[in-house]
Amino acid sequence: AQSVTQLGSHVSVSEGALVLLRCNYSSSVPPYLFWYVQYPNQGLQLLLKYTSAATLVKGINGFEAEFKKSETSFHLTKPSAHMSDAAEYFCAVSPYSGGYQKVTFGTGTKLQVIP
């Protein structure tokens, strides 16, 4: 079974400060890992995904994440927070099932950006 744990249900940062959202995964097979962002009352949007091609993954809106197998982590970072980054962020994991994909999501981290 695959799972992800997001540390911190709420994170607050000042505008211009580093954003760090933590995610640890558990997987019995090499995983595919994802970060999604959700704005209020909207669906989720894919920020980035790890597919084993490179350990440092760059996504949209200036976000990136680094896959660290030794730490079973896939933390999301952004050098400088912007007010528009305020949203809920979900880490997710999936095995590859040969055609379809069953993605398991974490419980989410709400990011507050303080002006």
Which positions touch other proteins (CB under 8 A)? 9, 32, 34, 36, 41-46, 49, 51, 90, 94, 96, 99-108
Amino acid at 6: Q
**Minimal distance in Å, beta carbon 90 to other proteins?**
7
Nearest approach in angstroms of CB 31 to other proteins is 11
Minimum Å gap between C-beta 89 and other proteins is 11
Q: Which is nearer to other proteins, 28 or 100 (CB)?
A: 100
Q: Which residues make Cβ contacts (< 8 Å) with residue 22, sequence separation at least 6? A: 6, 7, 8, 73, 75, 109
User: Which residues share a beta bridge with 110?
Assistant: 10, 88
> In a 3-state reduction of DSSP, which class is residue 94?
strand
Give the residue with the Cβ less far from other proteins, 100 or 115.
100
Tokens matching residue 87: 């949203």
